[in-house]
Amino acid sequence: MTVLRDTVVKNLAEIEVKGDQDGLIPAFNVLVNNLPTAFWNNFAERMVAAVPADQRAAVVEGLVLSAYECGYHTGYGIITSDEFKSVVEPMVTEGAKDVLRGAFAVFTAWGWAKSGIVQLKEGERMVIRAVDYYESDSGGEGLRAYMINGISKAFFELAYASPYPDGMNTFNCKQTKGIENGDSFGEFVVEKK
Amino acid sequence: MALNLNFTFDDNTYRHYLNGELMVLHCHHYMALYTKLAEDMSDYGGPKILKESVEDAFLGFINQVVSDSSLSDPASRLAGGAELYSVLGLGTMEVSGSEAGGEVSLVRSHVDEGWKKKWGNNHKFINHFTCGYVAAMFSAAYGKGARTYDVNEVASIAMGEAKGRITVKQK
């Protein structure tokens, strides 16, 4: 058996996530928030549109970096959590490859994107395909799934770079297709720098 | 007060909804870095863009939740907005005011505490997110549109205060 995404999603897609008595959601060694996707999309779209052309790359880099750091730290919290151990680890038969599949299943369960790994050369290259993701609802021009881009890179580093927290900035991720740009799915290619 | 909350999950798209609004889980790293990006882009209106992005995303949503909860008078709707803030993992606030404006005391704050976890105390106000939320919350309570209220931080947990304080004034 290997990690089955839909089984993980059904077990980990916690529907009723709410703040505790302090109005906070501490989980996976981070503070979690549960917000309308419209906020994240509004800010990304408006910030990119607000800057002159020579500043656009810096804004895009900042948006991807935001997701990358979130994915690296929260991703580590997820794959070392009791929930991950109880739901995903019994299905792990192929080591790091299956941990990575499990991480993307959680990625899907949290509402980030209905996505999965379509090509994997261990420690070298990975292609992610997303058939439904909230960033494709945003306005703007060009490929703009900044969040999936950053998190894909982070998860690959958690699986194949130096152990946490020393494995950052080992790989690059490039978005090559996007629903928001007229393609039928989003595609993200992670490769060594 | 108990809000009437309807969490749903679409088995086909794997999207999450709360009272019909598309929702997503993220963490304090993501929020802190979005806030920092807005700060870094201050020359291009970053903090204002962040504040207005929140106000526009939340005004309809808060209206929906308080209406679904059968809260009709302004004071109840205002309290409902404050309760929703906690449900979403954003912290806890105490709010008082009228149609003309008011004040929010921020007892706990995802934005401020997340910033401090990442970078420690800051030297200036950074909770643009909650200012946008409070603007939407007052507008939803008093049946107003976006940009009705001027909302500003005057004390900040991220700057080392025990509580945050936010003032609200109708424009």
Q: How far apart are the first and last CA of chain B?
A: 30
Provide, as residue numbers in chain B, all residues whose Cβ is less than 8 Å from the Cβ of A16: 5, 7
Which residues of chain A does B14 touch, with a Cβ-Cβ cutoff of 8 Å? 9, 13, 108-109, 111, 114, 132
Residue A119 to residue A136: CA distance in whole angstroms = 22
The three-class DSSP label of residue A127 is strand
Residue A7 confidence (pLDDT)? 76
Q: Give the orientation angle of helix B46-68 with respect to helix B128-141, to 10 degrees.
A: 40
Nearest to B61 by CA among A167, A37, A94, A190: A37
Spatial separation of the C-alpha atoms in residues B129 and B112, rounded to whole Å: 10
* 30-59 of A, contacting B, C-beta below 8 A: 30-40, 42-43, 46-47, 50-52, 55, 59
B-proximal residues of A, 67-106, CB under 8 Å: 67, 69-70, 73-74
User: Contact at 8 Å (CB) between B140 and B77?
Assistant: yes
Cβ neighbours of residue B98 closer than 8 Å, sequence gap 6 or more: none
Interface test with B, best of A5, A34, A63, A78 (most B CBs within 10 A): A34
Q: Looking at the predicted structure, is the pLDDT value of residue B152 above 70?
A: yes
Residues B132 and B54: beta-carbon distance below 8 Å: yes
Taking the complete model, does pTM exceed 0.90, yes or no? yes
Among B57, B86, B92, the residue with its CB nearest the CB of A38 is B57
Query: Is some CB atom of chain B closer than 8 A to the CB atom of A11?
Result: no
Residue A102's pLDDT is: 86
The answer to whether A73 touches A55, Cβ cutoff 8 Å, is: no
ipTM of the complex: 0.97
> Which member of B21, B27, B41 has the closest CB to residue A36?
B21
Q: Do B29 and A69 touch (CB under 8 A)?
A: yes
pLDDT reported for residue B5: 97
Is the four-CA dihedral A168, A116, A85, B24 of positive or negative sign? positive
User: Residues of B with CB below 8 A from A25's CB?
Assistant: 89
pLDDT at site A14: 64
Q: Where are the beta strands (DSSP E) in chain B?
A: 7-9, 16-18, 21-27, 91-98, 101-109, 149-155, 164-170
Sites in chain A below the pLDDT cut of 50:
none
CA–CA distance, A109 with A176 (Å, rounded to integer): 24
How many Å apart are CA B53 and CA B21, to the nearest integer? 16
Q: Which residues of B touch A47 (CB under 8 A)?
A: 37-38, 41, 44, 46, 49
Q: What is the pLDDT of residues B68-82, one digit of tens each?
A: 999 999 999 999 999
Check: CB of residue B21 under 8 Å from CB of residue B99: no
pLDDT digits 0-9 by tens, B127-144? 999 999 999 999 999 999
Please write the tens of the pLDDT for every residue from B43-62: 999 999 999 999 999 999 99
Q: Write phi, then psi, for B108 (nearest 5 degrees).
A: -130, 150
Token representation of residue B93: 């606030």
Spatial contact of A154 and A66, defined as CB atoms under 8 Å apart: no
**pLDDT 10s digits, A113-157:** 999 899 999 999 999 999 999 999 999 999 999 999 999 999 999
What domains can you pick out in chain A, each with its CATH number? Answer: 5-192 (3.30.1380.20)
Contact status, residue B117 vs residue B40, Cβ threshold 8 Å = no
What percent of chain B has pLDDT above 90? 96
* B144: closest CA of chain A, how far (Å): 20
State the DSSP H helix or E strand holding residue A172, giving kind and residue range, or none if neither: strand A171-177
Q: By three-state DSSP, how is residue B43 classified?
A: helix
Distance CA B76, CA B78 (A): 5
> Domain B7-170 - what CATH class?
alpha beta
Distances in Å between the alpha carbon of A46 and those of A39, A59, B54? 11, 11, 12
Measuring CA to CA, how many Å separate A102 from each of A16, A70, A88, B41?
21, 17, 6, 36
Amino acid at A7: T
Q: Do B16 and A15 touch (CB under 8 A)?
A: yes
Contact call for B49 and A51, based on CB within 8 A: no
For residues A114 and A133, what is the distance between their CA atoms, to the nearest angstrom?
6
Query: In the sheet that B101-109 helps form, which strands lie side by side, from edge to edge?
Result: B91-98, B101-109, B164-170, B149-155
Q: Is A37 in contact with B86 (Cβ distance < 8 A)?
A: no
Listing from the earlier edge strand, what are the strands of the sheet with A25-27?
Answer: A25-27, A30-36, B21-27, B16-18, B7-9
Determine contact: B48 vs chain A, CB below 8 A.
no
